[in-house]
Chain A
């Protein structure tokens, strides 16, 4: 499952997870809408190893600013709250899965 979080929940959950993948997105962004179901599928497969979160950049501009999100969708991988990897744009499921696994 990909859990939608606000800034407060982000601090309490995503920052504390051993490994978190955070999907920065916006309601007006076409590629974001396409990425969401792909990420949902991946979260089912990798759910044991990785926690998945979703952040709306309009609702949490502070988080978008902190991770310098200039284009959406943007995926950020955090390990114990530390930035481990970042990628921009849609990717098909197999490529996204290998991006996540390659950065574990």
Chain B
């Protein structure tokens, strides 16, 4: 089935977009977290959300959920790996599955992670963001994996089945649960370098050679999520109607830039949904 609008993110922007899209009678695929937004949930008190004076972040998140439930909007709790512009529709890699939508609204919030030196320079030439995609290219060779959350361990374990050796650099405190064949290195990568024989991960203690380096983050940069999307640093460039450079892709909320305010995000979500609905109606003509 092809949805009218896929909405990625369940913060104020995504929720607002979903409510408005539903009001416009569009079929929606809302991708995010059942807990809504971690940023909202952790906010101590919000004093400038009209109509909800001094509301706690956790209460606002619960109210979002309640409102979605009452509008019969479900949340698909899967990670979106990529969004591909196929011409007259979009293909979304959702977990292991491909899903389709006529328009896409990005409401992912802003990615704070700064790329490592060398990461972007060598992307696709020794650096990869997707182990399951590129693992077979490193068959019988050495892979280094920089994992920013425990869920990336599955990818490292997968690589260990294909590669001759896997070095794993966990960038979190939790204990790792990995096959013995994976060598865990508790050090902080400072740079990804190209060497005469391949790549190397540089830490304060030295250099670790590998044929390929996989950088696995919880959130990918918007330009990685949607190939071809025009960005400005961590933000996506949008018009007043929340249109991006790709027809059919809209962005809203913190992702479009400062100020990072819940009310601004909700307002932009509303605009994005109206623009997306209008885009779909034009396409159908």
Chain A residues proximal to chain B, CB less than 8 Å: 26, 28-31, 34, 37-38, 41, 57-58, 64, 68-72, 74, 88-93, 95
| Cα-based distance from A90 to B82 in the complex (angstroms) | 10
Contact status B86-A70, CB under 8 Å: no
B128 in the interface, Cβ–Cβ < 8 Å?
yes
Which of the residues B85, B137, B212 comes within 8 Å of A92, measured between beta carbons? B85
Closest to A33 in B: B98
> Which residues of B (110-148) have their CB < 8 Å from a CB of A?
123-126, 128, 133-134, 136-137
Q: Are A90 and B84 CB-contacts (below 8 A) given A29-B133, A69-B137, A95-B228? A: yes
| Cα-based distance from A28 to B126 in the complex (angstroms) | 19
Cβ–Cβ < 8 Å partners of A93 in chain B: 85, 87
Contact-residue bracket for chain B: 20 to 34
Cβ–Cβ < 8 Å partners of A68 in chain B: 125
| Cα-based distance from A37 to B84 in the complex (angstroms) | 12
Contact status A30-B124, CB under 8 Å: no
B179 in the interface, Cβ–Cβ < 8 Å?
no
Contact status B87-A72, CB under 8 Å: no
Contact status A92-B125, CB under 8 Å: no
CB distance from B159 to the nearest CB of A (A): 14
Chain B residues proximal to chain A, CB less than 8 Å: 81-82, 84-87, 91, 93, 98, 123-126, 128, 133-134, 136-137, 212, 227-228, 246
Q: Are A38 and B87 CB-contacts (below 8 A) given A71-B137, A89-B124, A92-B227? A: yes
Q: Are A30 and B82 CB-contacts (below 8 A) given A70-B125, A70-B137? A: yes
21 A-B pairs with CB atoms under 8 Å apart are A26-B136, A30-B82, A31-B84, A31-B133, A34-B84, A34-B86, A57-B137, A70-B126, A71-B123, A71-B124, A71-B125, A88-B123, A88-B125, A89-B227, A90-B82, A92-B87, A92-B227, A92-B228, A93-B85, A93-B87, A95-B228
| Cα-based distance from A92 to B84 in the complex (angstroms) | 7
Interface contacts (Cβ under 8 Å), in number, total: 65
CB distance from B223 to the nearest CB of A (A): 10
Contact status A90-B227, CB under 8 Å: yes
Cβ–Cβ < 8 Å partners of A72 in chain B: 133-134, 137
Closest to B125 in A: A70
Q: Is the interface of A mostly helix, strand, loop or mixed?
A: loop
The 3 lowest CB-CB distance pairs between A and B, nearest first, are A88-B124, A92-B85, A71-B124
| Cα-based distance from A50 to B124 in the complex (angstroms) | 24
Which of the residues A26, A71, A74, A92 comes within 8 Å of B246, measured between beta carbons? A92
Closest to B135 in A: A28
CB distance from B237 to the nearest CB of A (A): 15
Closest to A27 in B: B136
Cβ–Cβ < 8 Å partners of A41 in chain B: 87
| Cα-based distance from A13 to B98 in the complex (angstroms) | 34
| Cα-based distance from A41 to B86 in the complex (angstroms) | 10
CB distance from A37 to the nearest CB of B (A): 7
Cβ–Cβ < 8 Å partners of B86 in chain A: 34, 37-38
Closest to A29 in B: B133
Cβ–Cβ < 8 Å partners of A38 in chain B: 86-87
| Cα-based distance from A92 to B134 in the complex (angstroms) | 21
CB distance from A92 to the nearest CB of B (A): 4
Which of the residues A58, A91, A92 comes within 8 Å of B136, measured between beta carbons? A58
Cβ–Cβ < 8 Å partners of A31 in chain B: 82, 84, 133, 227
Contact status B84-A71, CB under 8 Å: no
Other 6 A-B pairs with CB < 8 A, given A88-B125, A90-B227: A30-B133, A31-B133, A37-B86, A72-B137, A92-B87, A92-B228
